[in-house]
Chain A
Amino acid sequence: ETVLTQSPATLSLSPGERAMFSCRASQDINNYLAWYQQKPGQAPRLLIYDVSNRAAGIPPRFGGSGSGTDFTLTISSLEPEDFAVYYCQQRGSWPLTFGHGTRLEIK
């Protein structure tokens, strides 16, 4: 099973700042990595797929990068609605696995 390790566990930032989330895979996942956003009481929402492709309707302030085993989600300038939990997910091997999430909170 591919283990995804996300860091930091919590990120405290202010609106307008840049946010960077890390996801490290226990083995090469061939760039088959996605990012999701989850707000309290809601389902996760797909943001980024295959490392750097934005899903439909996702604003350009969300960007993804990385390769091999190390991946980053960047939010260029935080909006109030961006404060949530962010998960990475890999599809490079079975079973599908998710990271434990990074909580983005308002500083």
Chain B
Amino acid sequence: QVLLQESGPGLVKPSQTLSLTCTVSGVSINSGLYYWTWVRHVPGTGLEWIGYIFYSGNSRLNPSLRSRVSMSMAKSQSHFSLRLTSVTAADTAVYFCAGGLVVTPGYYLHYWGQGALVTVSS
């Protein structure tokens, strides 16, 4: 059973950096089978794909956030991480980590974490 769990601060000040980690169990993040992904749900709007990181270290990011987003992996610790810089109130959202089976083109999201609410406020 593939499980994902987000962790990180629930409150971030404006202009600072949001950092979240997703711990994966039940599958190796080195397997090359999944795109390890971040999605957010801004209140009152739909879901927004932030991007993915692959076991090779390659990533693909949403152009709308690319200038502020970076992703990394810690393979030995079975986790991957998200950093979002220069946050504003508009970045307040529930952030989900997820895994999507590698297909072409694009992919769907088969496994999800429970989500982490991050509020941007001073």
A contact set with B: CB distance below 8 Å: 1, 32, 34, 36, 42-46, 49, 55, 87, 89-101
Q: How far is the CB of B92 from chain A (nearest CB, A)?
A: 17
Are A96 and B49 interface neighbours, CB within 8 A?
yes
Which residue of B46, B106, B110 is within 8 Å of A99 (Cβ)? B46
User: What are the residues of chain B within 8 A of A89 when measuring CB–CB?
Assistant: 47, 108-109
Q: Give the distance in Å from the alpha carbon of A69 to the alpha carbon of B51 in the complex.
A: 24
Main secondary structure, interface of A, reads loop
Which residue of A44, A95, A100, A101 is within 8 Å of B109 (Cβ)? A44
Q: How far is the CB of B45 from chain A (nearest CB, A)?
A: 7
Q: Point out which of A1, A42, A96 has the most chain B C-beta atoms below 10 A from its C-beta.
A: A96
Nearest B residue to A85 via CB reads B46
Are B105 and A92 interface neighbours, CB within 8 A?
yes
Are A100 and B46 interface neighbours, CB within 8 A?
yes
Question: Taking the complex as formed, is B80 at the interface, i.e. its CB lies under 8 A from any CB of chain A?
Answer: no
Q: How far is the CB of B60 from chain A (nearest CB, A)?
A: 7
Q: Give the distance in Å from the alpha carbon of A94 to the alpha carbon of B106 in the complex.
A: 7
Interface extent on B, as a size class?
Answer: 20 to 34
Interface string of B56-67 (1 = CB under 8 A from A): 000010111000
Are B46 and A94 interface neighbours, CB within 8 A?
no
Q: Give the distance in Å from the alpha carbon of A7 to the alpha carbon of B48 in the complex.
A: 18
Are A32 and B105 interface neighbours, CB within 8 A?
yes
Are A49 and B108 interface neighbours, CB within 8 A?
yes
User: What are the residues of chain A within 8 A of B112 when measuring CB–CB?
Assistant: 43-45
Q: How far is the CB of A104 from chain B (nearest CB, A)?
A: 15
Q: Give the distance in Å from the alpha carbon of A43 to the alpha carbon of B105 in the complex.
A: 24
User: What are the residues of chain B within 8 A of A45 when measuring CB–CB?
Assistant: 112
Are B46 and A95 interface neighbours, CB within 8 A?
no
Are B47 and A34 interface neighbours, CB within 8 A?
no
Nearest B residue to A95 via CB reads B62
